[in-house]
Structure 1
Amino acid sequence: MIRRFGVPKSIFEPFQANKRNINLRRKVLKKSLYKAEGQIISPDFSQMVPYYMGFTAPLYALTIKTLGRDSSPRERVEFLLRFVQDIPYGIPPTHSNNKVISGVLPPPQIFIEKWADCDSKVLLISSILAHEPRYKILLVYLEKHLLMAFEGRPHRGDKFIIFEGRKFILADPTGPARLPLGNPGSDFNGNFKKVELLDVTAENRRIPHYVSKRIQVRKIEP
């Protein structure tokens, strides 16, 4: 589960752009939970979130058990924001164990390392909340930071953005400050590079996600 994430360094080497090589690269990227957008190769959160939902299922169940089934969607987001913000901050390397990981830790690796950065924490909380269809999650890319936003009705004072005619309330799970939903922190000045709506389908939620009884784990290594 942990070892699937990451692309071989060879994917960044020059190649002959024939049909066979292009198809092979696409398969390697998909298998590695990566994507290519033009010349940019990066982790594919819309692949990673469904893939790691099996691992985060107990965390989602614990959230519901702790807050109760009558808890509001906002209460659940606030609860998980505090949980993820309390994970110590650390910057992952771009490479680990002979793979390119682009400075992102998948959810199981976070609990091995016991720290994470903004990208990794956004991935973790997204893969927990993805178990519930009501949560529509937007990734908000700043120049050197990643925020997230949840579709909903903003409270007074909440900062939000409008995407495709819908309001998304901003949040920053990075920590260590326990910023509440609607307060994205000082890094957000109203501008962002791009936004991306996470694509988690009903089919993703129907597929049984299993957590291996025996997961081979390696610490992050340069």
Structure 2
Amino acid sequence: MFAIGLPTRLFKSLALWLALPLRIALFLLCFTPVATYASQLTFNKTVTPDDIQFKYRWLDNEGTEQTIAFSLPNSALKVAPTTQANYKPEIAQRYVTVSLLKEAKKVDPREAVVSVTHENDAINIKVKSTKPNKADQILSQLKDVQRTAYTDYLDKHYYTRFTTLFNQQAVKPDHLRYVAQTFESLRPISEAFYDKVDRIENNRAYLQLMTSWVQSIPYDSLEDRVASNGSGFAPPLGLLMQNRGDCDSKAVLTGALVRAFLPSTSIIMVFLPHHALLGVAINAISEDEKLEVEGKTYVLFDPTGPALIPFGDISEDTKRYISTGRYQVEHID
């Protein structure tokens, strides 16, 4: 409306000027890299009396449609939990307290008096005795029981202690244990991918294809490894059954699959504050992102998605974390 009555030359100049931002935007769009995101086209799961059959269709990082099908025996669901119980400190304390009270009952009341109470979200143990050194001896025994009971509670619920980058003492799902207990049962998946890769190709082709498949599985974000108390983490078999997982869950599944494929190759899990990725000690090429740990070079890769990042590459954010030393490493046996 505002152009009515303007001279033709001025109108053309004005139209050209208004079109410049659009032209610039289109130019930048053509020459700016655009992240490619994983796309799972179909997922089918069939449960039979003997096994669970899985079928997938997805687009890899080159936009090529890929398919995979495999079946896992029902016994695979029994090798490790398929869900991760949330860590609740009050329940852990109750478990430890029961063990302490059982041990305290064994103390002869003529030798010492033991009290076990909760104080400021902590377990407080007091021992009184008229005999020299007896109180210290019993207290030391009860402290051992306390540590053993807590370790037992963590072990039963597939948790482990860890120290964060900020030197916080915390617990997290026992990722390495899940890998160790599930990789054998996941071997049919590894074999299915191996059958799709040309035999003359190297390990890289297998890892690239398998990584794109894991990336295509719908992604749940990991808000905080410490604050989440394990909620959101899906063990490998659970992830497959629900077809969804966060970065820790996908890294553990991938670690198990790589271990099934490369039983003697060194593998690491690399933990960032809110992310997880993997490294594998195979022959690297110049373009690979690498990390040296204890004198060994690992090719890094990120199977978590939703970005389709090729094997041997990682995101810019991840590069910054690693270059500044803000990461932790765990070795997969």
Q: TM-score, normalised by structure 1?
A: 0.77
Structure 2: how far apart are the matches of 1:7 and 1:67? 39
Letter in 2 for 1:25: Y
SS in 1 for 2:178: helix
**Partner residue in 2 for 1:146:** 276
**Partner residue in 2 for 1:23:** 148
SS in 1 for 2:257: helix
Structure 2: how far apart are the matches of 1:143 and 1:7? 19
CA positional deviation for 1:53: 1.8
SS in 1 for 2:204: helix
Deviations 1:57-101 (A, max 9, x none): 21112122222555422222111101101111123799xxxx952
**Partner residue in 1 for 2:230:** 101
Structure 2 vs 1, CA of residues 80 and 141 (structure 1 numbering), >3 Å: closer, same or farther?
Answer: same
**Partner residue in 1 for 2:315:** 185
Structure 2 vs 1, CA of residues 57 and 144 (structure 1 numbering), >3 Å: closer, same or farther?
Answer: same
Q: What fraction of aligned residue pairs are identical, expressed as a percent?
A: 23
**Partner residue in 2 for 1:213:** none
**Partner residue in 2 for 1:215:** none
2:2 maps to 1:2? no
**Partner residue in 2 for 1:124:** 253
CA positional deviation for 1:41: 0.9
**Does the 8 A contact of 2:171 with 2:229 survive in 1?**
no
2:158 maps to 1:33? yes
Q: What 5-or-longer segments of structure 1 have no aligned partner?
A: 201-222
CA positional deviation for 1:7: 5.5
Structure 1: how far apart are the matches of 2:221 and 2:81? 18
**Partner residue in 2 for 1:83:** 213
Count of aligned pairs:
196
**Does the 8 A contact of 1:34 with 1:42 survive in 2?**
yes
**Does the 8 A contact of 2:222 with 2:274 survive in 1?**
no
Structure 2: how far apart are the matches of 1:3 and 1:178? 26
Letter in 2 for 1:50: A
**Partner residue in 2 for 1:14:** 122
Structure 2 vs 1, CA of residues 56 and 192 (structure 1 numbering), >3 Å: closer, same or farther?
Answer: farther
**Partner residue in 1 for 2:328:** 195
Structure 2: how far apart are the matches of 1:26 and 1:185? 36
Deviations 1:171-218 (A, max 9, x none): 111112221122111222223433323232xxxxxxxxxxxxxxxxxx
Letter in 2 for 1:33: Y
Letter in 2 for 1:181: F
Structure 2 vs 1, CA of residues 3 and 80 (structure 1 numbering), >3 Å: closer, same or farther?
Answer: closer
2:242 maps to 1:113? yes
Judging by fraction of residues, say which structure has more strand. 2
Letter in 2 for 1:36: R
SS in 1 for 2:153: helix
Letter in 1 for 2:332: D
Tell me whether 100-109 or 157-166 shows the greater mean CA deviation.
100-109
Q: What 5-or-longer segments of structure 2 have no aligned partner?
A: 1-79, 94-120, 125-141, 164-168
Letter in 1 for 2:92: I
**Does the 8 A contact of 1:136 with 1:151 survive in 2?**
yes
Structure 2: how far apart are the matches of 1:163 and 1:149? 10
**Partner residue in 2 for 1:66:** 196
**Partner residue in 2 for 1:157:** 287
Judging by fraction of residues, say which structure has more helix. 2
Structure 2 vs 1, CA of residues 78 and 134 (structure 1 numbering), >3 Å: closer, same or farther?
Answer: farther
Structure 2 vs 1, CA of residues 193 and 103 (structure 1 numbering), >3 Å: closer, same or farther?
Answer: farther
**Partner residue in 2 for 1:218:** none
